[in-house]
């Protein structure tokens, strides 16, 4: 996700591991995705779509009614491992 945001939008990103297992995404100090609130990790491309909408001054897309498993957890673990 971090590399995708940088390559697609030219924005720098940062991953900060949390101590409580949370997964929150902030854009300019605005919480745009929270695992605690949704009960799931974001779907493939979901954070990028939210970021793009905010950048373009549009309303972020609504989350899907039924979350589908995504490879995001694997990508995050791979990123944290190096």
Cα distances from 18 to residues 22, 32, 57, 80, 82, in angstroms, run 6, 17, 29, 12, 17
- pTM, 2 dp: 0.60
Distance of CA 4 to the CA centre of its chain: 11
- State the Cα–Cα distance between residues 44 and 64, nearest whole angstrom: 12
- Checking if the pLDDT of 68 tops 70, the result is no
Q: Which position has the higher pLDDT, 65 or 27? A: 27
Q: Is the dihedral of CA 31, 22, 49, 10 positive or negative?
A: positive
pLDDT for res 26? 83
- State the Cα–Cα distance between residues 16 and 57, nearest whole angstrom: 26
């Amino acid at each position: 996700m971090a590399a995708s945001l940088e390559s697609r939008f030219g924005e720098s990103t940062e991953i900060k591991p949390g101590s409580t297992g949370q997964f929150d995404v902030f854009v300019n100090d605005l919480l745009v995705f929270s695992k605690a609130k949704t009960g799931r990790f974001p779907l493939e491309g979901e954070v990028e779509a939210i970021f793009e909408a905010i950048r373009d001054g549009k309303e972020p897309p609504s989350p899907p009614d039924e979350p589908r498993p995504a490879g995001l957890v694997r990508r995050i673990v791979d990123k944290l491992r190096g």
